[in-house]
Amino acid sequence: MVSVIDHGAVPNDDGDDQSAIQRAIDAAPEGATVVFPAGTYRHSDVLNVRTKGVTLWGYGATVEATDPMRNAIILRGDKTTIAGFTLVDAATVRRSAEEQMAVSVHYTNESVVRDNTIRGASSAGIFVWGASNYAVLNNTVENTMSDGIHSVGGANNGLIEANTLRGVGDDCVAVVSYISERAMSHNITIRNNSCERGKARGVSVVGGTDVVIEANTIVASGAAGIYLASEPSYDTYAAKRVKVIANRLVGVNTNAAIRHGAIFIWGRAGSASTSDGTMYTLQNEDLLIKANTITDTAAGAADIVAQGSYSYRVNVIANVTSGLRLDHYIELQSDQYNLVGELSNTIAVADHVGNPASLP
């Protein structure tokens, strides 16, 4: 173990511990644990964890960022972990650089972010950039200026589970794939998270393949509770092979200017390749919306909305909706979706079977 105090950090004195903390991190050999004894520490610049296998251990420790332009803790080494901290940033302006996230997992393999409380950040609370085999577990993220948890840049084989997100400035959990980065985020499971009062969507897949969104609770999101799309404004890939199963959506889409409904699906035409030459169409494909419970959607045309004609092989099965909204608003071609076993205000919705072979 390496203690930050042994390298000059002094808790609870209102001084800048930046240099001392970075010295301790840099002194830690492969596989070591950098311990922050209980107390409050302050840092004025980005903290980088470069050595393989290093764990930052902060149970009982609070780390305050004093410069909202340089507030991030960045995991750059494989098998690195940050656990148990309260991270505080009093940012009031939204920014977007990696240095302005609270925690960034930067192209690592087998890194873990767990048991942290993040209160404020200039951008996202937890940013996963191109990482593989990562886990984001049991964190609380509050009042960030951007997303709560954001996976991008070909992030893959990730588990985002049992996190609590409140009042974040954009989506609670987002999986995104930008065409400009030429990388598709994939194989990500988003499970058993709680999202309350996010300014935009609860969970979004705006470009991503093989994503599971399961057993999450989403309350009072500004836009859709769950959003599957290809966005021209941000030039993203599409959502493909995404399963949305057994989520609970309550009072979502509170912003009347954004008419998404509870679950919103939207695709577009075209295609684009990734850096390995794989060509992806920009239409959504192979989506499963199953056994979700939707209550009191605040705005939008309906609880489940599939808008436009660029989503294919969509299965909507055994969802239960209640409240004043219409149950479904679907513009897809009739042979490209199935609607089976739906209940709206306890009344069965008429089945529509367009492609029986695709029923799961």
Question: What's the rounded mean pLDDT across residues 333-338?
Answer: 95
Distances (CA, A) of 201 to 153, 175, 186, 223, 311: 20, 12, 20, 5, 19
CA 340 – CA 343 distance, rounded (Å):
9
Number of structural domains the chain divides into:
1
The two structure tokens encoding residue 7: 């390298």
**pLDDT surpasses 80 at 359:** no
Task: Confirm whether 38 is domain-assigned.
Answer: no
The per-residue pLDDT for 83 is: 99
Task: Confirm whether 315 is domain-assigned.
Answer: yes
Task: Confirm whether 312 is domain-assigned.
Answer: yes
- Using one digit for the tens of pLDDT, what is the confidence trace for 82-104? 999 999 998 999 999 999 999 99
* Confidence tier at 356 by pLDDT (50, 70, 90): confident
Percentage of the chain surpassing pLDDT 90?
A: 98
Question: What's the rounded mean pLDDT across residues 171-191?
Answer: 98
Task: Confirm whether 192 is domain-assigned.
Answer: yes
Location of structure tokens 């964190």: 139
State the DSSP code for 132. Answer: B
Domain residue limits at 223: 45-358
Task: Confirm whether 72 is domain-assigned.
Answer: yes
Question: What's the rounded mean pLDDT across residues 321-344?
Answer: 96
The per-residue pLDDT for 360 is: 62
Percentage of the chain surpassing pLDDT 70?
A: 99
Task: Confirm whether 53 is domain-assigned.
Answer: yes
Task: Confirm whether 36 is domain-assigned.
Answer: no
**pLDDT surpasses 70 at 209:** yes
The mean pLDDT of the chain is 97
Tell me how far apart the 2 most distant CA atoms of the chain are, in Å. Answer: 69
**pLDDT surpasses 80 at 158:** yes
- Using one digit for the tens of pLDDT, what is the confidence trace for 270-309? 999 999 999 999 999 999 999 999 999 999 999 999 999 9
Question: What's the rounded mean pLDDT across residues 248-263?
Answer: 98
Question: What's the rounded mean pLDDT across residues 50-59?
Answer: 98
Contact by Cβ (8 Å): 111, 134: yes
CA 209 – CA 196 distance, rounded (Å):
26
The per-residue pLDDT for 355 is: 83
Task: Confirm whether 5 is domain-assigned.
Answer: no
CA 291 – CA 9 distance, rounded (Å):
51
Location of structure tokens 């750059």: 76
CATH no. for residue 196?
A: 2.160.20.10
CA nearest to 119, candidates 135, 102, 134, 132: 102
**pLDDT surpasses 80 at 358:** no
